[in-house]
Amino acid sequence: MKLSEAAVGTKVKIVSVNFQPDLQGRILGLGFVPGTIVEVVREAPFGDPRVYTVHGKMITLRNSEADLIEVQPVERSFPLSMAEVGKRYVVKAFLGGPFFMSRVKSMGLYIGSLIEVRSKFPITALVDGRIIRIGMGMAEKIMVEEI
Amino acid sequence: MKTVALVGNPNVGKSSLFNAITGARQYVANWPGVTVSRKEGTKTWRGVELKFVDLPGIYSLGAISLDEKVTRGYLLREHPDVIVVVVDALNMEQGLFLLIEVLEMRENVMLVVNSIDEARKKNLRIDKYELEKHFGVHVVFTSAVTGEGIEELLDRILHIIRKREVHSFVNFKYQPEIEERINDIEKKIENVKELSSYKKRWLAIKALERDPEVVEILGDYNIKAPSELEAKKFKEMIAQRRYEYIDSVLREAMSIPTKKMSLSEALDHVITHKFLGIPIFLAMMYLAFSFTFDVMSPFSDLIDRGFSALGEWMRTIMGSGWVTSLVVNGVIGGVGAVLVFVPNIFGMFLALGFMEEVGYLPRAAFVIDKLMYKLKLSGRSFMSLILGFGCNVPAVMSTRGIPDYRERLITILVSPFITCSARLPTYILLAGIFFKGKETVVIFSIYLSSIVLTAISATVLNKVLFKGQPVPLVMELPRYRLPSAKNLWLYVWERGKHFLEKAGTIILISAIIIWFLGNFPSAGDNSLAADLGKIFEPIFRPLGYDWKMVTALIFGAAAKEVVVSTFQMMYGNPAEVLPSVITPYMALSFMFFVMAYMPCFATVAVIKSEAGGWKWATFSILYSLAVAYTIALLISLVGRLIW
Ligand SMILES: Nc1nc2c(ncn2[C@@H]2O[C@H](COP(=O)(O)OP(=O)(O)O)[C@@H](O)[C@H]2O)c(=O)[nH]1
Ligand SMILES: [Mg+2]
């Protein structure tokens, strides 16, 4: 997964950093090195750039830059928006209000539902033998764990 | 004389330490990238003369951006006697990364952990001896604010100079694969006499990373670097290992206080909020302007009355005659017309300084980056441009911190459109006469237009001059800090002083010259100034300006403040005379002309030196004149239709 896809508020672990040589040195120097945990702190108006905490510093990166950093989730549960295609997940929690809750219910999603992600942006997934479509905004509020 | 270099990440307090030690008064700001070239100062300590060099802040010792080049070049070639690496007590990691790089490159390095006062307030304990042990360097805790630790630092520096002791940084090893490659290269370097001034290990590490400069040096001796793909892997591994080491040392050396939602986070949550961010930015700007005009204007009025009284008094004691006229109308009138605006200008610097000092600027850059991105610029050039509201000269100079040449050039070329404080007197004067009660709104809209104009220019230049490529925005958000009164005053005074100096030099001289031109061979329509103004007047006829206004524009090119001095001299009492000469929309068109037209002499000079040559300076002059004329013409035409 790319760092730009990690949801706000989550923590991820860096797998690789793939900038052009001219910027690579500075990015590594700032602490974006493989193995490091990065927290996605906040996003600017229009969702770009975003602030990350890395090795105690708050650093801004544009999404086009965060695209160049490969990461993986570290927390056991994370938003469905960060799920990978082809893997299976179990729903652990919903982070929305009453309106959101009634929508997920109408889609047939419950705590404990099994989800197999088929494609992304938006997410299409196999749930109880049916294919459903879940928008990325909604997917950010559905916490899942990999199984 | 011994030299001491200060190295560190941006915003850790190098310049503050430099000031505290040398007594220099270099402005420090709570945002990265203020020190753009190196600054030097001396201090005699226990009989030894020490030269301190404040270097630009960097995150790594690569040689890509201008900052990195300056700092690395200095460390590599000038051989300072002591290198002091400064890190921030509250966030040492990135600083220690740089320390490792410096240790690999040079001897006689020591570590300063600064802002120890803030660490203490947060109950953060740091174990000095763990740091000394694991990095093999002297460590001193300092606070540039309270002065704590500065004497100890100076003593340690002398200690290093006297003993010339070589610390060994032996505990630290890279992964076996890397160490093996380092060894291989070191062996080859050993045989080359010419390379003995470099540390072998450093050359080897940089070769593995394919550092362009080192690859070239080694290439001369047939020592080959790894392939690009390999180098990328090595570079990642090297950085990873350094951070692992730093983390392991800090786990032993630091007590981590329990974390709670800090004030900084709470503030950030609102100030850089997804939806509130931009409205807050606009509100902050508006507040700054309203402070500049509404709060400061009574003081201006006071000074205005002072100068009128002074003029009257001089007239009574000197009688009439041309000397009196020179002194009263020329010097007191001309210079006084500018000095009246001192409170506004100081007020504007105070507002700007406050925003810089608390750490708001990088946040503003973050919030509006998406818009800057559309212009193929970044939040970084936005910060340079913001400086232009004070004066365009430092704005142009601060572009040195921008790594990308194209972005840098465009920022330089558009920055004169940012309306500097020298143009403010014209706005205040004309808005006060023609838009009474609505001054703040009118002037705020000129400022907004100036921003829009800058933005449009950036887009156009990008399209015309370059096939615009977006530039990265990798920026640190510093923590919020309550500005110290001293630093804030320093900020206001450093800039305000420049304005006062101008009043005593270029503005005074211009005032005298204009008085002579305006009074010889006889005052009024037959003067030399009239001749000059009338030559150009036909060009300005479509705009509706009379020759006096044209003359003011001509002299205003030297320094924009001179526009109001000229008004004062030509019209005597502009507030009474002007309404019968021009209409409000012409006044508005004139204000916009002043906002956009050619950069002043000082700005032209820095554009020439920073952008490299007369080509860009000339371009800037012609381009801005054309833009100013077009805008002013539009306003005049539209105004004529409406009124
Ligand atoms: N509390 C505290 N603030 C400091 C200290 N040193 C620097 N600062 C503040 O940190 C900011 C950055 O300082 P500056 O000297 O410009 O950092 P530089 O970029 O490394 O030169 C400024 O707002 C300073 O007032 C310190 O020892 N204690
Ligand atoms: Mg500095």
The two tokens of residue B106 are 């040079």
Is the Cα torsion angle B553, B558, B559, B561 positive or negative in sign? negative
Q: Hey, is the C-beta of B373 within 8 angstroms of any chain A C-beta?
A: yes
Q: How far apart are CA B220 and CA B606, in angstroms?
A: 38
Task: Give me the pLDDT at residue B34, please.
Answer: 46
Q: In this structure, are residues B282 and B373 in contact, taking their beta carbons and an 8 Å threshold? A: no
> Mind listing the pLDDT tens digit for each residue in B215-243?
988 988 888 889 989 999 999 999 999 99
Task: Give me the pLDDT at residue A117, please.
Answer: 92
Task: Give me the pLDDT at residue A57, please.
Answer: 92
- Taking CA atoms, B624 is separated from B295, B405, B416, B594, B630, in Å, by 32, 21, 8, 10, 10
Task: Give me the pLDDT at residue B191, please.
Answer: 84
Beta-carbon separation of A44 and B476 below 8 A: no
Measured between CB atoms, which of B93, B362, B470 is closest to A31? B93
pLDDT beyond 70 at B600: yes
> Mind listing the pLDDT tens digit for each residue in B413-463?
999 999 988 899 999 999 999 998 888 889 888 988 998 899 888 888 887
B176-255 maps to CATH 1.10.287.1770: yes
The two tokens of residue B613 are 């040559």
The CATH superfamily of A78-146 is Ferrous iron transport protein A (FeoA) (2.30.30.90)
Q: How far apart are CA B544 and CA B248, in angstroms?
A: 73
Residues 374-413 of B with CB under 8 A from A: 379
Nearest CA to ligand 1 atom 28: B115
B95 touches ligand 1 (CB under 6 Å):
no
Listed ranges B247-261, B467-481, B594-608; the one with the highest mean pLDDT = B594-608
For residue A46, the 8-state DSSP code is G
Amino acid residing at A135? G
Cβ-based contacts of A23 with chain B (< 8 Å)? 64, 472, 474
Is B104 strand, coil or helix? Answer: helix
Domain ranges of chain B: 2-162, 176-255
Architecture of domain A3-73: Roll (2.30)
Edge-to-edge order in the sheet of strand A69-73: A69-73, A11-17, A37-43, A50-54, A57-61, B475-477
Q: How far apart are CA B615 and CA B624, in angstroms?
A: 14
Q: How far apart are CA B512 and CA B445, in angstroms?
A: 34
ipTM for the whole complex: 0.77
Q: Hey, is the C-beta of A137 within 8 angstroms of any chain B C-beta?
A: no
Q: In this structure, are residues A11 and A76 in contact, taking their beta carbons and an 8 Å threshold? A: no
Nearest to B330 by CA among B568, B574, B578, B575: B568
Parallel/antiparallel/unpaired status of strands A142-146 and A77-79? antiparallel
Q: In this structure, are residues B48 and B28 in contact, taking their beta carbons and an 8 Å threshold? A: no
* β-sheet bridge partners, residue A131: A126
Q: How far apart are CA B620 and CA B508, in angstroms?
A: 27
> Mind listing the pLDDT tens digit for each residue in A65-112?
999 999 998 878 888 988 888 889 999 888 888 888 888 888 889 988
Beta-carbon separation of B97 and A29 below 8 A: yes
Alpha helices in A10-97 (DSSP H): 21-29, 63-66
% pLDDT > 70, chain A: 100
Kind and range of the H or E run holding B53: strand B48-54
Please give the radius of gyration of chain A, using alpha carbons only, rounded to the nearest integer.
Answer: 16
Domain A3-73 shares a fold with domain A78-146? yes
- Taking CA atoms, B470 is separated from B88, B174, B556, in Å, by 31, 36, 36
Confidence of residue B559 (pLDDT cuts 50, 70, 90): confident
Q: Which fold has domain B2-162?
A: Rossmann fold (3.40.50)
Q: How far apart are CA A58 and CA B247, in angstroms?
A: 17
Confidence of residue B466 (pLDDT cuts 50, 70, 90): low
Nearest CA to ligand 1 atom 16: B28
Alpha helices in B12-138 (DSSP H): 14-22, 66-77, 93-105, 116-121, 128-135
Q: In this structure, are residues B33 and B401 in contact, taking their beta carbons and an 8 Å threshold? A: yes
Q: In this structure, are residues B595 and B559 in contact, taking their beta carbons and an 8 Å threshold? A: no
pLDDT beyond 80 at B263: no
Q: What is the dihedral of CA B230, B234, B236, B241, to 10 degrees?
A: 160
Q: Hey, is the C-beta of B235 within 8 angstroms of any chain A C-beta?
A: yes
Task: Give me the pLDDT at residue B408, please.
Answer: 84
Q: Hey, is the C-beta of B264 within 8 angstroms of any chain A C-beta?
A: no
Q: What is the mean pLDDT of chain B?
A: 86
Q: How far apart are CA B228 and CA B325, in angstroms?
A: 75
Nearest CA to ligand 1 atom 13: B13
Domain ranges of chain A: 3-73, 78-146
Beta-carbon separation of B64 and A64 below 8 A: no
Beta-carbon separation of B274 and A47 below 8 A: yes
pLDDT beyond 90 at B131: yes
Q: Hey, is the C-beta of A15 within 8 angstroms of any chain B C-beta?
A: no
Task: Give me the pLDDT at residue A136, please.
Answer: 86
Beta-carbon separation of A26 and B474 below 8 A: yes
* β-sheet bridge partners, residue B126: B254
Q: Which ligand is nearest to the CA of B478?
A: 1
pLDDT beyond 90 at B142: yes
- Mutate-to-test residue for ligand 1 from B25, B28, B58, highest number of ligand atoms within 8 A of CB: B28
> Mind listing the pLDDT tens digit for each residue in A11-59?
999 999 999 887 888 899 999 999 999 999 999 988 889 999 999 999 9
Cβ-based contacts of A28 with chain B (< 8 Å)? 60, 235-236, 239
Q: Following DSSP, what letter does each residue of B395-448 receive, concatenated?
A: HHHHGGG---HHHHHHHHHHGGGS--GGGHHHHHHHHHHHSTT-HHHHHHHHHH
> Mind listing the pLDDT tens digit for each residue in B168-184?
666 789 999 999 999 99
B71 touches ligand 1 (CB under 6 Å):
no
Beta-carbon separation of A26 and B64 below 8 A: yes
Residue of B nearest to A31 (CA): B94
Q: Which of B149-158, B261-270, B314-323 has the lowest mean pLDDT?
A: B261-270
Beta-carbon separation of B373 and A55 below 8 A: no
